Amino acid sequence: MTVVSMLSFKGSPGVTTTVVGLAASWPRPAVAVDLDPQGGDMLVGLGGGRVSAAGGILDVLAEARLGNLRGPLGRHVLRPAKHGPLILAGFGSPQAAAAVNWPRTAEQLGSFDGADLLVDCGRLNPTHPMTAVLAYSAAILIVTRSHLAAVRHVARAVPLLPRTMASPRLVVVGPDRPYSADEISRACGLPLAAVLPNDPGGARHWTDGAEPGPRFHRGKLQQAMLLTASRLAAADHAGRSA
């Protein structure tokens, strides 16, 4: 199995929406893992506060101190919404994330073999120790909006990322506001992995606890997630088989 890490930099929200939307559409078994070091909100966004986590990432790491993640992760994942993926709830605070042994956690994630892990890394500071996870990721996707401030933050931060990791690619959310996805790719010097539409109504089903209606699967964001997940999973599988 494989780890796909997704992150953004200052000024570019949308990582959680992208992670859970893609994980729900992933063509292989997948778990959306909330590793945002500022504190996770994936469970609240999908469950709308109606579902309480019996455990989360800290419980998994504590139980896996002397072994691998497979058993502990299997005990603590949950599906807070019928339309959503399996998730592993995140940290309750930045202080909790700061206490984690990130090199050990990264190694455990990289060797996990029970499902593909789609990891929400949040808005990442390149000097944060959780960048160790990126070195064990088969794919790294940087989520950005298309306005000037967001693109500048990506262009400035990418050179600071560790060189030991897979080459990052861009996911542009809401292109042409004002820059096209191709323009952003050239400005940041990164290949384009996917383009997702600006669809606040569709995003509410992933991050605001909104219940989907009968036309949910026909929405433009959901259609784009389905196509993107299929392409990313196929490309990753081909890369690992080569």
Any bridge partners for residue 121, and if so which? none
Range in 12-21, 24-33, 131-140 with the lowest mean pLDDT: 12-21
Cα-based angle 207, 23, 165 (whole degrees, multiple of 5): 105
Q: What's the pLDDT at 53?
A: 66
Say how far apart CA 227 and CA 21 lie, in whole Å.
Answer: 11
Q: What's the pLDDT at 242?
A: 45
Confidence grade of residue 155 (pLDDT, cut at 50, 70, 90): very high
Nearest Cα to Cα of residue 77 among 27, 114, 25, 122: 114
Q: What's the pLDDT at 237?
A: 56
Say how far apart CA 199 and CA 144 lie, in whole Å.
Answer: 14
Q: Where do the domains of the chain lie? A: 3-241
Any bridge partners for residue 88, and if so which? 33
Average pLDDT over residues 184-194: 96
To 10 degrees, what angle do helices 200-207 and 220-241 make? 70
Q: Mean pLDDT in the chain?
A: 90
Q: Contact 51/136 with Cβ under 8 angstroms?
A: no
Q: Contact 116/28 with Cβ under 8 angstroms?
A: yes
3-241 CATH fold: Rossmann fold (3.40.50)
Say how far apart CA 199 and CA 191 lie, in whole Å.
Answer: 23
User: Which range, 11-20, 27-36, 66-75, 153-162, is most confident?
Assistant: 27-36
Say how far apart CA 60 and CA 67 lie, in whole Å.
Answer: 11
Q: What is the pLDDT of residues 208-224, one digit of tens each?
A: 888 899 899 899 999 99
Average pLDDT over residues 113-126: 92
pTM of the model: 0.93
Average pLDDT over residues 2-24: 89
Q: What's the pLDDT at 236?
A: 63
Q: Contact 197/227 with Cβ under 8 angstroms?
A: no
Q: What's the pLDDT at 40?
A: 84
Q: Contact 122/35 with Cβ under 8 angstroms?
A: yes
pLDDT above 50 for 241: no
Confidence grade of residue 65 (pLDDT, cut at 50, 70, 90): confident
Say how far apart CA 87 and CA 35 lie, in whole Å.
Answer: 11
For the chain, counts of helices (H) and of strands (E): 10, 7
